[in-house]
Structure 1
């Protein structure tokens, strides 16, 4: 991305909006949100856009403009604003969120493969040597991690084409969803599969888990924040934007509106051809395969709306599911090969080399190879533990993985936003670009962002335990607590062995 940005010299307003959109917008968030809350997910996306996405993106913009020459990314931002220890723990937690993402995706990447081959999710029936369901997928996930790590340490030139192809295919999915839903709407003479009965349809979820359950609704905010994730990259685009003082805030606001509308419209479009009770309220549907179920239903509904036979409609459903499966597998594979080294490399290069034990910080062929294998071992151990704890219930296994990922990837935003206040108060830091003109406005919006993220994570973590689902709560916090403890221990050792001796 950075090479493309530099070659264009200046981003126009339109280019900036497109870049933010492609960095943040994720197709799979739409069917997952519909699966969890139906139309009632829409207001939460709008609220999260106002209380999190826009102000947080503005903070990233100010950080990025002030520290545009720093190589350490968010570590440098927090170190120069708060302190090195705080920065290392916050950055290590940010890095750990990608480790937990790997645990999630390595175990679920087989679902798009199943859809690509069979046109439906058959993974719950997979097994070998007595291992079935989550346990078998866990073993496959461990094999996948070892394979990707081995290839990644050798170089990524051959992977770039897969990444590009997958990204294009997923972008096409949004077009297929939009056009397909409109055609179904026309074919069904304006009839909605998920009917709207007044304002209550956008407040009350059709999901029985959410009916009368305020905690579940509050916990859903983490989903919305997760869907807006990736805006950290925005900070590096300020000095590349044409007439930044005027165009950058305008671009962020436009992007936030477009992305919020995109998610909201997407959820509504799913309701055109998907009835929640008849399609989503099935034991075989879970958060990992919801996207494939929805898109397969789109193919089926298209055939049905225009008078195709039952067999033809089913075949159309399987065809769309295969396309979705192949697209998502290519996209996830490309992301995996990149994320296997990129966050780790940024963490190691941005922090003092002596922080890392042994030869962990050593680079070979531009890759932290030893650190990557340590990372692989940790991910494999976590996959093994979670797949065993997940038991034989595929749905519960997936829910634990998704909950772990959502919490881990949103908590670091609290560290970054907290650092914004001392950053604003430190007048020694040159700030060439400011959106929050006063300390008071910076304080207000920092509190709003931190409250939104903290509030959402609190309910996301405690809600399962209050309903008797202690494993999900434990695993939601286990990863962040473990990695925070590791970071704290590493930095204390660094202070004891090197920093204090140099004073």
Structure 2
């Protein structure tokens, strides 16, 4: 019986592109950071990064679909095993830092769900500061999640689907509430538009210099992070040569349009100066503050009483935090093991100490997952016991997350011409056929990524934020060094193999 592997339709892959890339809180962070000016950067990031890189990953995934190492296999077949291991470890670092950022922000969601607003800044445990208290909670929580995950997934998939439904519900409620508010207010924006400045200049005083504005590219590129995971489905599509690039292109246009539209919609309810200036808003609680404000503005337009307005405001903030909490929890158990399982089991076992790739009775790489838990705990201690305020703490975590998620793409994009030149690979599925064209695209995408990273570096130096800068680069550099050291150990082991084989 002949199996049919081409089951995915254009619509299915289009939806997969959307669900793996779009994140609602990216829109609130963009509005908080740049106001309406965030729209143009999201559009530029899509044109210069999202579309071309997603098509590159489509070729990677199609040609190397039978190899289990994912990103490691892509780099190994483009450069060599040394750079595959270093680049793969930097990619692994992005996931670890994502965990550090996510597990710490869960407490904002929980606090807002319970009380209606973020009061994590008042949390105290054993006389410690609020950030240290959150750090302890995060470490305990992550160890608990690791303990559960090492015993198999169980019903986590069902929880993940509930989280997905919650994320869709949040998106729909926000959109409808904002449009109703606009209609009731005679289509008058809470944040007036002044052309062209509103769409070019950030209202934030710390985002006025060219380097500071360009550093927002890190946020914009991060908004499209995760697209490399879709490269592996290209060979499973009907008429993949036409449909996969089309799905990627349509997905990019749709996601970019929604990002831009939602950033603009925040201006319907939130006057930037009154909501953000002189308040305790940070990159971690922006979404819930804006949702609370949206509920209050809607209550005013509906002419509710003062108590009714307050109730609606709390309802919106709690709904936003609760749906985000469900969404994060639904995916958390997956990101605890997904990248570890893919990377550890997809790379040569000789690269690792014998115990690391070993599976437990549930088929999970438990030793590697516990090592990850220890590294996460160390990073949480470094970020939460540094004496920062809650605002500074969450800002650093978000910047660490964004930067570490951007750097791996430098490896993947730069590797593409070498991948194309490898004649041992099956290149029957090709999107980029003209060498000068894809070389030019690689240069443009790399330049964009380097520009964003360089601007982040420059802004931190100018502001004298050397501690934050150290933490932002700590993860990728540390993991890159670890990757290089383990590769050297691998070479030493491999030199011993021929000798043993000869004796045998």
Bin the TM-score by the shorter chain.
over 0.9
Question: Which residue is 1:40 aligned to?
Answer: 37
Q: 1:496 aligns with which of 488, 492, 496?
A: 492
State how 1:300-449 maps to structure 2 within 5 Å: 300-364=296-360, 365-389=362-386, 391-449=387-445
Assess, with a 3 A threshold, how the Cα gap between structure 1 residues 7 and 338 changes in structure 2: closer, same or farther. Answer: farther
- Say if 2:473 is the partner of 1:486: no
State how 1:17-36 maps to structure 2 within 5 Å: 17-36=14-33
Helix, strand or coil: the match of 2:201? coil
- Say if 2:281 is the partner of 1:285: yes
- Say if 2:258 is the partner of 1:262: yes
Q: 1:135 aligns with which of 132, 136, 139?
A: 132
**Cα separation, 2, equivalents of 1:9 and 1:430:** 18
Question: Which residue is 2:104 aligned to?
Answer: 107
- Say if 2:84 is the partner of 1:87: yes
**Cα separation, 2, equivalents of 1:483 and 1:81:** 21
**Cα separation, 2, equivalents of 1:502 and 1:492:** 17
**Cα separation, 2, equivalents of 1:343 and 1:296:** 35
- Preserved CA contact (<8 Å) 2:163 2:331: no
**Cα separation, 2, equivalents of 1:451 and 1:463:** 18
Question: Which residue is 1:299 aligned to?
Answer: 295
Assess, with a 3 A threshold, how the Cα gap between structure 1 residues 448 and 133 changes in structure 2: closer, same or farther. Answer: same
- Preserved CA contact (<8 Å) 2:6 2:235: no
**Deviations 1:219-276, CA, capped at 9 Å, x for gaps:** 0001011000010122112112221111121111111111111100000011111111
- Preserved CA contact (<8 Å) 1:153 1:367: yes
- Preserved CA contact (<8 Å) 1:40 1:203: yes
Query: Which 10-residue stretch deviates more, 305-314 or 413-422?
Result: 305-314
Question: Which residue is 2:73 aligned to?
Answer: 76
**Cα separation, 2, equivalents of 1:335 and 1:433:** 32
- Preserved CA contact (<8 Å) 1:425 1:439: no
TM-score of the superposed pair, with normalisation by structure 1: 0.96
TM-score of the superposed pair, with normalisation by structure 2: 0.96
Question: Which residue is 1:169 aligned to?
Answer: 166
Helix, strand or coil: the match of 2:39? helix
Q: 2:228 aligns with which of 227, 232, 236?
A: 232
Task: Quote how far apart the aligned CAs of 1:310 are.
Answer: 2.0
Query: Which 10-residue stretch deviates more, 51-60 or 92-101?
Result: 92-101
Q: 2:197 aligns with which of 176, 195, 200?
A: 200
- Preserved CA contact (<8 Å) 1:40 1:205: yes
Task: Quote how far apart the aligned CAs of 1:8 are.
Answer: 8.6
Task: Quote how far apart the aligned CAs of 1:499 are.
Answer: 4.6
Query: Which 10-residue stretch deviates more, 460-469 or 146-155?
Result: 460-469
Helix, strand or coil: the match of 2:479? helix
Task: Quote how far apart the aligned CAs of 1:46 are.
Answer: 0.5
- Say if 2:185 is the partner of 1:188: yes
Helix, strand or coil: the match of 1:179? helix
Helix, strand or coil: the match of 1:340? helix
**Cα separation, 2, equivalents of 1:483 and 1:500:** 26
- Preserved CA contact (<8 Å) 2:49 2:445: yes
Task: Quote how far apart the aligned CAs of 1:297 are.
Answer: 1.1
Task: Quote how far apart the aligned CAs of 1:418 are.
Answer: 1.2
- Preserved CA contact (<8 Å) 2:350 2:493: no
Q: 2:95 aligns with which of 98, 105, 114?
A: 98
Helix, strand or coil: the match of 2:385? helix
Question: Which residue is 2:147 aligned to?
Answer: 150
**Cα separation, 2, equivalents of 1:81 and 1:336:** 31
**Cα separation, 2, equivalents of 1:112 and 1:7:** 44
- Preserved CA contact (<8 Å) 1:149 1:373: yes
Question: How big is the alpha-carbon RMSD for the aligned residues of Structure 1 and Structure 2?
Answer: 1.5
**Cα separation, 2, equivalents of 1:329 and 1:136:** 19
- Count of aligned pairs: 496
Helix, strand or coil: the match of 1:81? coil
Q: 1:124 aligns with which of 121, 125, 128?
A: 121
Q: 1:451 aligns with which of 447, 454, 457?
A: 447
Question: Which residue is 1:3 aligned to?
Answer: none
Give 5+ residue unaligned stretches, structure 2.
500-504
- Runs of 4 or more, structure 1, over 6 Å off, are none
